Structure 1
Amino acid sequence: MKEFDSEFCNVKYVEKDKAILLAWKKFACGDDYRNPTTFAWELLKENVGSKFIVDARNGFEDEKADVEWGFTVLLPRMTQTTCKMVCFIMNEVNDIEEEMDMWTKEFGKYFAVIKASDYENALEKMKRLLMVNVRYHIHKGKRNEFYNKVKEQGIIQSSKEEPGNYKYDYYVPKNSDDAICLMEIWTNEQAQKMHGFTEQYQKLTILKQEYVESVEIEKYWISEV
């Protein structure tokens, strides 16, 4: 079964878009809220690499007990899936905006969060990825030492685990003995910007001050990988 439908909510897997779409029909609470969201989590678990889109234009607001359940049960389950992006479809003026902001902030701790005006707009935003190519010119003879410290301090793994990161890998160019390159791919500009406030980024900044002579950075928008 790939679809859940009730008077409160419809949840389905849209195979051509690799997306789980949860569309609220009206406000829900208790099992009327938990059953469809649990079904959405099960679809995310089954469909590797799928996106999660929540259409909240006709509802969504839930009671305190459901919020607590969502934060302590549903979200931890969702973090165990391969989903990286969550999109909330909202009306331009929404009387549940405060409720949605609470959820987007909580989702933002684990996923890249996007807001859209409709389903097609959500797909368009979620298919654009930001690629950042960085070329570090390292002090002569210090390239391996720099890279080893980056690995030892957990900078690479921690960056890969950030919400919205698709790729964070170093490689050595063939045309230089002292340069090292970093390729980053992020779901959006906000995710890449938030990377700059992380502990791992601060660690890298300290290493750059010690080992790096100069940096070249290029940014591109690319299609979904």
Structure 2
Amino acid sequence: MSLTVNLYYTGTNGSARKFAEEMESSGVAAAIRDEDGNERYDYFIPMNDPETVLLIDSWRDQQALDAHHASKMMQQLADLRDKYDLHMHVERYVSVDEPSSDERFIRK
């Protein structure tokens, strides 16, 4: 089982994109990707909302996510969110380790 958290960062005047760019250029995003249990940490820009950046953040399990939340990087992240005055919307998903009937619709 893994956990995926979709975080939508929204700002004004390109601030969400600047936040994501600084997360990447400062090395904070890379450090998070290197944390034990991190399976994915990627930023995306929705086509219909240029003032929002989507972060897809996946973890092996709740314990790995809890360790991340207790890490020093969380303060760096919070400081950057404040710097760019971002607001957040969060969605949380738990994977199911079962075959899916959706496979017939997926072209590989």
Q: TM class by shorter-chain length?
A: 0.7 to 0.9
Are 1:215 and 2:88 matched, yes or no?
A: yes
Q: How many pairs are equivalent? A: 97
Gaps of 5+ in 1: 1-127
Does the residue aligned with 1:133 lie in a helix, a strand or coil? strand
Distance 1:194 1:150 in 2: 19
Identity rate of aligned residues, in percent?
27
Q: Residue 60 of structure 2: which of 187, 196, 210 is its match? A: 187
- Matched with 1:141 is 14
Distance 1:146 1:134 in 2: 13
1:132 alignment partner AA: V
User: Residues 107-146 of structure 1 correspond to what in structure 2 (within 5 A)?
Assistant: 128-146=1-19
Under a length normalisation based on structure 1, what TM-score does the superposition of the two structures give?
0.41
Gaps of 5+ in 2: 98-108
Larger radius of gyration: 1
The 3 A distance-change label for structure 1 pair 223 and 212 is farther
Distance 2:54 2:64 in 1: 20
Under a length normalisation based on structure 2, what TM-score does the superposition of the two structures give?
0.81
- Matched with 1:203 is 76
What CA RMSD, in Å, does the superposition of the two structures yield over aligned residues? 1.4
1:166 alignment partner AA: E
1:197 alignment partner AA: A
**Is the 8 Å Cα contact of residues 9 and 16 (structure 2) preserved in structure 1?**
no
Deviations 1:30-69 (Å, cap 9, x if unpaired)? xxxxxxxxxxxxxxxxxxxxxxxxxxxxxxxxxxxxxxxx
2:44 alignment partner AA: Y
**Is the 8 Å Cα contact of residues 186 and 192 (structure 1) preserved in structure 2?**
yes
Q: Does 1 or 2 have the higher relative contact order (CA < 8 Å, sep 6+)? A: 2
User: Residues 4-19 of structure 1 correspond to what in structure 2 (within 5 A)?
Assistant: none
The 3 A distance-change label for structure 1 pair 210 and 139 is farther
- Matched with 1:163 is 36
**Is the 8 Å Cα contact of residues 135 and 182 (structure 1) preserved in structure 2?**
yes
Deviations 1:63-99 (Å, cap 9, x if unpaired)? xxxxxxxxxxxxxxxxxxxxxxxxxxxxxxxxxxxxx
**Is the 8 Å Cα contact of residues 130 and 187 (structure 1) preserved in structure 2?**
yes
Does the residue aligned with 1:148 lie in a helix, a strand or coil? helix
Runs of 4+ in 1 over 6 A off after TM superposition: none
Q: Residue 176 of structure 1: which of 28, 49, 52 is its match? A: 49
- Matched with 1:72 is none
